[in-house]
Structure 1
Amino acid sequence: MKNVSENNINFIVCSNTKSIQSNIMKKYKHSIKNVLMIFPLSDEIELTQIDEEALSKIDAVICAGDGKEEPLECDFDKVLKIRDDCVKLNKNFIFRDTGRLFKMNGKVYHIPKGVGKEQAKKAKVDYFISQVDKEIYEEETLWERLAKSKFRSKFKMSQKDKDYYGEKGEETINSHAHDFIEKRLAPKNPKRDGRQTPLNGHPVFLAQHATGTCCRGCLEKWHRIPQNKALDAEEQNYVCNVIMAWIKKEMEN
């Protein structure tokens, strides 16, 4: 996503009309983008039946088919129904993935694993309210882009790193991240820029290399935060959120 990272988007996941309204009201978060994620899409969804107050909290609707080995069927007619409702309600709509079992024009297709996103994109049914919204939602997520980089993907937390995180705790590691970013990355012209982040020695250092937040050049390339300017508080928080998100993903592996 170009202007808003997935760390600044709140995904509210539902799979049927009945659960949408209550989930929106329970899981809505202020000051960030709230996206209704209909997954897996198998039931017919009636967005026009949702309370106006709940819908007003949603910026976009994303739907995707089931990617499991024994998937539920995703019917393209149901995708188009959601899209039509989004157009009527003036909501951004993104068809993210066909899933493994996709029905279109009365024919059921068995989609190979990993191909569903490409097939969904070929359908060309996404709807965006504005060009800005298109740039926000159409592009690959940060994690998808990073996964394609052999260099970024090679960084993994060792057991020693995980033990250190477990010993210190999330709050302390997050504090370390803020300290490192403030001193080494945030200045307009950081000292030894391009070489200021060690390749190991701390989970935050690993996370910085894995997420392209290790120097100002990488920060500009991967996160579109320009060089030759000091990072403000919001940008520093964003970088730390990305770092901590990567560390948490590693801790789950």
Structure 2
Amino acid sequence: MNVYYQIRSSQLDRSIKGLKEHFRKNSASSGVLYSPAVPIKRKDTPTKKPPKRPGTIRKAQNLLKQYSQHALEGKRGGCNFTPLEGKDDMLDVEIDSYIHCISAFVKLAQSEYALLTEIIPEHHQKKTFDSLIQEALDSLMLEGEGIVSAARRATLRHDYSAVLTIFPILRHLKQTKPEFDTTLQGTAASTKNKLPTLITSMETVGAKALEEFADSIKDKERQMIKDKFKVGTLKSHYLVGAIMSPSLDRFSR
């Protein structure tokens, strides 16, 4: 049993990592997705461009980037905006790569379970399957936690745009969860709880970032009101001074 699950576990993990590497490499270099199993020989092979984030998410991300950058520049005494484009496409590739790998894991895990039911005695099937999927599942969960940690660090820097990386992934994880739960039925509780734990982490970080972003907007508005009041007061003082100055000159003579 140990030999079987070790071999199949290694194969499953390599398949996921191979898909991830292929997806990133081809999407980043050509902007076109090809199946790893189909050699590219003809120029007229039908192609599919990598999906872009919905326009609303793109707009929100740019607005959050601008606001975050403005807030940071304001703290340093500047207010210049730099170009925001450049990394968006790469970010899309990373997001889509992770989403595809999550879906691939569920499908491959289903295939592995169907295969082992034909080979492994019934009373060993659940435990063998649990052991078999651990390496690939842990790798995906670790990558997900890395995404959460990156968003959390960005939020601490008041870069609220980074949290938008989480939302497409979070939506996909929630959509995938029912099938994930069904596939992992019979595995240990610690195994079944890994995806829900990641979902909770993403929800927590996302909610925290949005809450802080809303608070920062309120603080910014209050500061703008104070600044306007100060400017208005200075203008009033200047006008009073301008009016009183001739009178003072007359009295001083």
Normalised by the size of structure 1, how large is the TM-score? 0.22
Higher relative contact order (CA 8 A, sep 6+): 2
- Structure having the higher Rg: 2
Which structure's residues are more often strand, by fraction? 1
